Structure 1
Amino acid sequence: MPRATAGSLIPHTVKGETGAAAVRAVLAIVLAALLVAGCGGGDGDGDASGEIRFLVFGEPEELEAYRNVIRAFRRVEPDIQVNLVEASDRDDLLARLSTSFAGGSPPDLFLLNYRFYGQFAARGVLEPIESRLESSDVFQPDDFYPQALDAFRFDGELTCLPQNISSLVVYYNRDLFRRAGVPEPRPGWTWNDMVRKALALTKDSDGDGNIDQFGLGVEPSLIRIAPFVWSNGGDVVDDQDRPTRFTLDSPAARRALEAFFDLRQLHFVIPSEEEVESEDDETRFLNGRTAMVLSSRRATPAFRTITSFDWDVAPLPRHRKPAGILHSDAYCMTEASGNKTAAWRFMEFALGPVGQRITARSGRTVPSLVEVSRSPAFLDPKARPRHSSVFLDTIPVIRRVPTISTWPEIEDASEGILEVGLYEGVSAQEVTRQLNEATRPMFARAEK
């Protein structure tokens, strides 16, 4: 008899349930289905048991979602113990991975953004998972958004499986817009529309000569600038798969850079570097002192704690055409794992319909499974943001940065150079010259 799975037997949604109640309701259905079927999910390797280690980092709400997934998994696979290993931040996670790979004792699984996984894929320390995915009874490749799945192919080989497919959006304070009589942003709005709104919402409330409320918050980083370069018809690098240099010195890319730097140097709608150091953009938004902030779905759990004002999300404004940038994390299995059957069994559960519904309800993820992304687990009309569909509407125009092994170094080297353009008024032409000078050796060293 064909194997019944939790993924194939749960309904699209458990209506009227949220949080722990939703988890319990889904689990009841899953457990009943598995009892009827007489077996659990798997990769065709038979029974699985033992312990696996799963390395992650994240905000408290995100970590609690992973604990909920592990608890749910334990109820359907009691012979497998998943030990959650919590890193303090991304740098700590990367350091732990590098050390454990060098010492021959890496975790069985870890969660990492596509921008940082190439350095490990290039070393051959990740377990290819294409064959497992294709033989799975829980999901198939076509069940995932291809933009997220393709981000984790290295030299054509799928090495990790994505849990989310976020994009950059504009979070905005609806109350500040209303009080200022400024229309809320709508799909199709332009860069100039955003600047005009930001100008109208930047205020010196007490007349002391200092700005108390800024119209916009955005960090000077490649992943914030890239979508506007693409929107203006430019490219970030000369070759997506085998890049050798930045192409931000092209006319279209340079004009996008100039417009970005003008946010501070000409319009003064974003805080100075010193003001950001004392209160970062997202904290300033939380405190009601910034009208708009650019961020990914990562900011949603924190913003859901806001009780003093209403907020929502809008798509990125465009220059010449709509564009977005991929934000995606994936479960990666290590080649040195001593319990790959159990590790894959947990991946199937966590990234299947049950697990993705649990993490989606935390607010942190835009599910990589198409079905779950279109369910109330993500599009809950009672949960903020009201227009979570904006994240899905952006998927067709999402692009990504390269995944070469030295990309993290390239991002780090670029950050300080972009900062002087935004905060100190260094010209876009000089910024692009410095970027190429600093990063060309890193591009050359990349294991592509």
Structure 2
Amino acid sequence: MKPKSLLALALCATLALTGCGSGASGPDPVKLLVFGAPEELGAYRTLIEAYQDARPGERVQLIEASDRKDLLARLATSVAGGAPPDVFLMNYRFYGQFAAKGVVEPLDQRIAGSTLDPADYHPVAMDAFKWEGAQLCLPQNVSSLAVYYNRTLFTRYGVPEPKAGWTWNDLVGTATAMTRDARGLVIKGTEAEGAARLPAVHGLGVEPSIIRLAPLVWSNGGEIVDDPVKPTRLALDSPAAREALKNLIDLRQAYGVVPSDAEVEAEDDESRFLNGRLAMLMTSRRATTNFRTITGFEWDVAPMPVYRQPVGVLHSDAYCMTTGSKNKDAAWRFMEYAMSADGQRIIAATGRTVPSHIEVSRSPAFLDPDQPPRNSQVFLDAIPTVRALPTVSTWPEIEDLSYGILENAIHRGDRLDDVIRELDVKSRPMFARGEHG
């Protein structure tokens, strides 16, 4: 090889981002970091393709994390290394740790000079991404929890479908009636009592997490933390919170309607629902994209059960720009498109989101009667009742800690007082280290 050719190769290696040797030209692509199931990632690829078709010359590169922990780790590592993505998608419960470190670019000035109007979006989602009064991220969705249920199984067993206004006791009764053995007979009682008749269908699946517990506590008149703005501790020792927590534990320990720890390890609740072995699943809108692949049965959604009053818990993800981005103008153009009515219609059509754009959320793009769930209105009806969990930089640690403790409580039957004490003692140092928006 001639020396001149060697020099050319060296230049190409050094200037790879310019497209040397590949025929590529133009600006660097906007790097978008997201995570999700394959169906969810497909939704973002669809959005990117539409954006690039609408804006010739613009390019977006999708960076796919395997799960939430991988996304957080990738973002932290890339920021520390000086090469962060331009835009990342993150839930309001987790972005505080990056906001507190100045990783997230404030957007108020860009919004002021944009065609985007904050009044077009559901306020509860916009407010969740404000830090020290500044709008840091733009929320793409305003989801909440709902109860997904297998309509075909309900019809087969002659059990009334869940409906608006149902209570926690109604949920327990329905889950009990839907917990069946291989012959289709109801299984009642604890794991020990029903050991000879293992469920072929479980009545309910629910994650042992704070975000599942929160709306139940709130609905019963309790609180999750002592101060929603600047929390210093969990507040699960009140009578209302204790009752909701005990009832959650009793789903396994007293009624045996949720899968055991071993069963969940073998097959997670979402897969169990997909495979027709779970009658109901308490989860957020993001499951819809995956569930639309179901062909073997009909399914729909019902609102959350009520204690004293309906209360939902906010599930919202937003597009955030990194302060270290070297491509901020292009990143903003993509964010504007993703947040526009056109962009939100694209993601809504996949089933992934309850659009934060008010008009789109009320349109056929979201309420399409030809696509399951038929009762998507459930998510819109919940919005006026939705509350956000605290935005504190250490909240991810608090959630991870509480998950393990609540999981043990549900599957081992730990004493309620011990559970509440352990949650309080172990989380207080995390609250003390936390920074607030």
TM-score (norm 2): 0.89
**Are 1:50 and 1:342, in contact at CA under 8 Å, matched by a contact in 2?**
no
Matches within 5 A, 1:405-444: 405-444=393-432
Question: Aligned equivalents of 1:279 and 1:70: distance in 2?
Answer: 33
* Structure 1 portions without partners, runs of 5+: 1-47
Q: 139, 157, 162: which is aligned to 1:185?
A: 162
Question: Aligned equivalents of 1:88 and 1:416: distance in 2?
Answer: 21
Give the secondary structure class of the aligned counterpart of 1:116.
coil
* Structure 2 portions without partners, runs of 5+: 1-25, 186-195
Question: Aligned equivalents of 1:348 and 1:119: distance in 2?
Answer: 24
Give the corresponding residue for 1:203.
Answer: 180
Give the corresponding residue for 2:295.
Answer: 307
2:318 paired with 1:330? yes
2:249 paired with 1:261? yes
Counterpart of 2:237, as a letter, is D
Question: Aligned equivalents of 2:41 and 2:136: distance in 1?
Answer: 23
Q: 112, 121, 127: which is aligned to 2:99?
A: 121
CA shift digits 1:80-121 (9 cap, x unpaired): 211111112211111111011111111110111111100000
CA shift digits 1:194-247 (9 cap, x unpaired): 111111111123485212211111111111111100000000001111100000
Give the corresponding residue for 2:306.
Answer: 318
Q: 30, 33, 58: which is aligned to 1:55?
A: 33
Question: Aligned equivalents of 1:106 and 1:304: distance in 2?
Answer: 34
Counterpart of 1:427, as a letter, is R
Give the corresponding residue for 1:214.
Answer: 202
Give the secondary structure class of the aligned counterpart of 1:241.
coil
CA shift digits 1:130-160 (9 cap, x unpaired): 22223321x2111110111011011221100
Question: Aligned equivalents of 2:72 and 2:143: distance in 1?
Answer: 21
Q: CA deviation at 1:419?
A: 1.2
Give the corresponding residue for 1:109.
Answer: 87
Question: Aligned equivalents of 1:322 and 1:119: distance in 2?
Answer: 30
Q: CA deviation at 1:248?
A: 0.5
Cα distance change of structure 1 residues 307 and 51 upon mapping to structure 2, 3 Å threshold: closer
Give the corresponding residue for 1:194.
Answer: 171
Give the corresponding residue for 2:152.
Answer: 175
**Are 1:50 and 1:79, in contact at CA under 8 Å, matched by a contact in 2?**
no
Question: Aligned equivalents of 1:57 and 1:123: distance in 2?
Answer: 22
Alignment length, in residue pairs?
400
CA shift digits 1:64-87 (9 cap, x unpaired): 221121122112322321111111
Question: Aligned equivalents of 1:425 and 1:249: distance in 2?
Answer: 18
Give the corresponding residue for 1:69.
Answer: 47
2:133 paired with 1:145? no
Give the corresponding residue for 1:285.
Answer: 273
Q: CA deviation at 1:420?
A: 1.8
Q: 383, 388, 410: which is aligned to 2:371?
A: 383
Question: Aligned equivalents of 1:79 and 1:301: distance in 2?
Answer: 30
Identity over the aligned pairs, expressed in percent?
A: 61
CA shift digits 1:156-187 (9 cap, x unpaired): 21100000111000000111111221111111
Question: Aligned equivalents of 2:63 and 2:354: distance in 1?
Answer: 23
Q: CA deviation at 1:49?
A: 5.5
Question: Aligned equivalents of 2:55 and 2:275: distance in 1?
Answer: 43
**Are 1:191 and 1:319, in contact at CA under 8 Å, matched by a contact in 2?**
yes
CA shift digits 1:335-383 (9 cap, x unpaired): 1111211111110001101111111111111111001111111100000
Question: Aligned equivalents of 1:89 and 1:213: distance in 2?
Answer: 28
Counterpart of 1:388, as a letter, is S
Question: Aligned equivalents of 1:200 and 1:92: distance in 2?
Answer: 39
Counterpart of 2:211, as a letter, is I
TM-score (norm 1): 0.87
Question: Aligned equivalents of 2:107 and 2:212: distance in 1?
Answer: 31
Counterpart of 1:313, as a letter, is V
Give the corresponding residue for 2:233.
Answer: 245
Q: 353, 375, 399: which is aligned to 1:365?
A: 353
Question: Aligned equivalents of 2:40 and 2:143: distance in 1?
Answer: 15
Q: CA deviation at 1:288?
A: 1.1
When the two chains are superposed, the root-mean-square deviation of aligned CA atoms in Å is 1.3
Question: Aligned equivalents of 2:53 and 2:256: distance in 1?
Answer: 54
Deviates more, 1:75-84 or 1:250-259: 75-84
Question: Aligned equivalents of 2:297 and 2:46: distance in 1?
Answer: 29
Counterpart of 2:92, as a letter, is Y
Give the secondary structure class of the aligned counterpart of 1:394.
helix
2:87 paired with 1:86? no
Counterpart of 1:175, as a letter, is T
Q: CA deviation at 1:50?
A: 4.5
Counterpart of 1:316, as a letter, is M
Deviates more, 1:57-66 or 1:330-339: 57-66
CA shift digits 1:405-430 (9 cap, x unpaired): 10000111111111121111112221
Counterpart of 1:371, as a letter, is E
Counterpart of 1:314, as a letter, is A
Counterpart of 2:61, as a letter, is N
- Return the index of the structure with the highest Cα Rg: 2
Question: Aligned equivalents of 1:103 and 1:284: distance in 2?
Answer: 40
**Are 1:127 and 1:332, in contact at CA under 8 Å, matched by a contact in 2?**
yes
Give the corresponding residue for 1:396.
Answer: 384
